[in-house]
Chains A and B, each alone.
Chain A
């Protein structure tokens, strides 16, 4: 991935010491670019992109060791978006970090764009894996945790999973494997927004008791509010102190978080077409000034 030259970085995105206001600004930029990309694409998954934005901001802004966004650094941490349909948010956070141009981030799903509907590692190496088929990214991250440990590297592997994704049997195959092999350099984060494509998890195929399930599989499980940045950072810190098993952070989130008309509404899970009015309303709700709507839609965010 091309690293933006420092002088082209928008001032608001300039690197600075980690702080919660900084993480909050990453999250809001992520949300805005996700909405812009989905509007431009005419399709995409807003609900789960918005619910995961704070988790992504905390991960990239404060937790992951990926100096300069260099996906070739062998000692980097690996982050895999196992819920690949949240790709609009992934491209958004990279743009917020200055690792992808915001103009490109909003070319989501276009024929000539590297920002495919689901992340593809050959297009964008920071994806670490090509995802979009639920369960697989988690397994790939497990392989990365094992692979770096076998090489004696200090790298950690992270996977962000959706809650509906936990209905895939592969997830529990991987959960058993990771615990059996004491992969303490593996962290799974669940974006637990309670809604999947058609309906509530509880009405499709219930997940509860979720933390107990992971604990029974041999994991250290932490439950947090997935929109509370100090809680998220605290959970990551707690996970880093666990040295004998993998950790799962079950982050309770709100689907569509930040856009009131989408919040907790299942229809905004799926790949939807946003009208210009809907996109504008969403961006206004996310704090974009009325005279900047068009700029944000085109990724001109400076």
Chain B
């Protein structure tokens, strides 16, 4: 394993910075030195973090109105004329315009970055209609679409920088709620590579987005029982890091995935496909089990839908029990 997680990252507490705010600030900074960047917004910039870009780069901020289909396909036209468009809206509205993302962006291989805030039950009080639990699966199925879901504010800033530097269409989740900080530095972000945050031989927990912090907390719970868990921030859902999964499967023989998403087709699906092809081992999938979300505070909903650290730890114990003797 290339990563050397000797000093296991410690949770350094919840900050006021959500992933969406971290995204917006980082993008505004990037645009200071990259004139190619333009941002498209559908009357929701205050919610997506794009307001930071609007304040600093008014002339490159394109207000599209509440019209996501036109916004998504227009971005392809902007890319075709040499801009690097960043489409910003809520994840559910990216699903609304997914056919435009498919045909006008991905099929035409246009260099558009689709940045989706408000994914998963982390959305909280707005309820089931607003909580995208299908987006990773849907966008992952589009040929040529890279799919990212960073874990904390520094990871987010590194991810948007990598996404802008990357030539090709990307779908990336941010997040609504204040994020638990995981990284003190994040200067080694690489699209397509998982990052091993903690090394343990008994089980590997593969997580993305808000679930990474919970996976680290789950590893602490497991350590109390003498179980050594690896924890991976799998910020790239597609292309999935086959080499890392193969190695973890070989070394631990038990995998748990954790995501704020339907357990069908997202990170769990990507990991299961990879394991089945390269190095099969028992796996458990933590996520929302093919249901819609509902209103509630994000922490309450994590309890309700089984996305908490104890739920991840329980899945780890189950999968360890399934290991071949």
Specify whether A and B are partners: yes
A133: which of B67, B103, B109 is its contact (CB, 8 Å)?
A: B103
A248 an interface residue at 8 Å Cβ cutoff?
Answer: no
Instruction: List CB contacts (< 8 Å) of A141-161 with chain B.
Output: 141-148, 150-151, 153, 157
Instruction: List CB contacts (< 8 Å) of B51-84 with chain A.
Output: 60, 62, 64-65, 67, 69-70, 72-83
Asked if B73 and A139 sit within 8 Å, CB to CB, the answer is yes
Q: Chain B residues with Cβ under 8 A from A78's Cβ?
A: 77, 80-81
A121 an interface residue at 8 Å Cβ cutoff?
Answer: yes
Known: A130-B107, A132-B103, A150-B38. A176 touches B65 (CB 8 A): yes
B161 an interface residue at 8 Å Cβ cutoff?
Answer: no
Asked if A143 and B76 sit within 8 Å, CB to CB, the answer is yes
Asked if A140 and B64 sit within 8 Å, CB to CB, the answer is no
B99 an interface residue at 8 Å Cβ cutoff?
Answer: yes
Q: Chain A residues with Cβ under 8 A from B69's Cβ?
A: 135-136, 139, 169-170, 173
Known: A139-B100, A146-B78, A169-B69. A121 touches B64 (CB 8 A): no
- A74 and B79 alpha carbons, distance in the complex (Å): 13
Known: A139-B69, A139-B104. A177 touches B77 (CB 8 A): no
- A128 and B104 alpha carbons, distance in the complex (Å): 10
A257 an interface residue at 8 Å Cβ cutoff?
Answer: no
- A144 and B82 alpha carbons, distance in the complex (Å): 10
Q: Chain A residues with Cβ under 8 A from B79's Cβ?
A: 143, 147
What 0/1 readout, one digit per residue, does chain B (248-281) give for beta carbons within 8 Å of chain A?
0000000000000000000000000000000000
B70: which of A74, A130, A157, A177 is its contact (CB, 8 Å)?
A: A177
Q: Chain B residues with Cβ under 8 A from A147's Cβ?
A: 77-83
Asked if A74 and B77 sit within 8 Å, CB to CB, the answer is no
Interface of B (DSSP majority class): helix
Closest to A74 in B: B82
Q: Chain B residues with Cβ under 8 A from A177's Cβ?
A: 64-65, 67, 70, 74
How many A-B pairs fall under 8 Å by CB?
109
What 0/1 readout, one digit per residue, does chain A (159-171) give for beta carbons within 8 Å of chain B?
0000000000110
Closest to A159 in B: B77
Closest to B76 in A: A140
What 0/1 readout, one digit per residue, does chain A (120-137) give for beta carbons within 8 Å of chain B?
111000001111110111
- A180 and B62 alpha carbons, distance in the complex (Å): 12
A42 an interface residue at 8 Å Cβ cutoff?
Answer: no
Instruction: List CB contacts (< 8 Å) of A17-55 with chain B.
Output: none
- A177 and B72 alpha carbons, distance in the complex (Å): 13
Instruction: List CB contacts (< 8 Å) of A212-254 with chain B.
Output: none
A174 an interface residue at 8 Å Cβ cutoff?
Answer: yes
How large, as a class, is the contact surface on chain A?
A: 35 or more
Known: A142-B74, A143-B73, A146-B74. A128 touches B107 (CB 8 A): no
Known: A130-B103, A130-B108, A133-B103. A140 touches B65 (CB 8 A): no
Asked if B74 and A122 sit within 8 Å, CB to CB, the answer is no
Asked if B62 and A140 sit within 8 Å, CB to CB, the answer is no
A129: which of B62, B70, B82, B108 is its contact (CB, 8 Å)?
A: B108
- A60 and B190 alpha carbons, distance in the complex (Å): 45
Known: A136-B103, A140-B80. A121 touches B108 (CB 8 A): yes
Asked if A133 and B99 sit within 8 Å, CB to CB, the answer is yes
Closest to A174 in B: B70
Asked if B38 and A128 sit within 8 Å, CB to CB, the answer is no
Asked if A170 and B82 sit within 8 Å, CB to CB, the answer is no
In the A-B complex, the 7 residue pairs with the smallest Cβ-Cβ separation, listed nearest first, are A143-B77, A147-B81, A139-B73, A143-B74, A173-B67, A173-B70, A144-B77
Give me the interface of A with B, judged by CB distance under 8 Å. Answer: 74, 78, 120-122, 128-133, 135-137, 139-148, 150-151, 153, 157, 169-170, 173-174, 176-177, 180
Could you give 30 example pairs across A and B, Cβ below 8 Å?
A74-B82, A78-B80, A129-B104, A130-B103, A130-B107, A130-B108, A132-B103, A136-B73, A136-B104, A139-B69, A139-B72, A139-B74, A139-B104, A140-B73, A140-B74, A140-B80, A143-B73, A143-B77, A143-B79, A145-B77, A147-B77, A147-B80, A148-B81, A150-B83, A169-B69, A170-B69, A170-B70, A174-B74, A177-B67, A177-B70
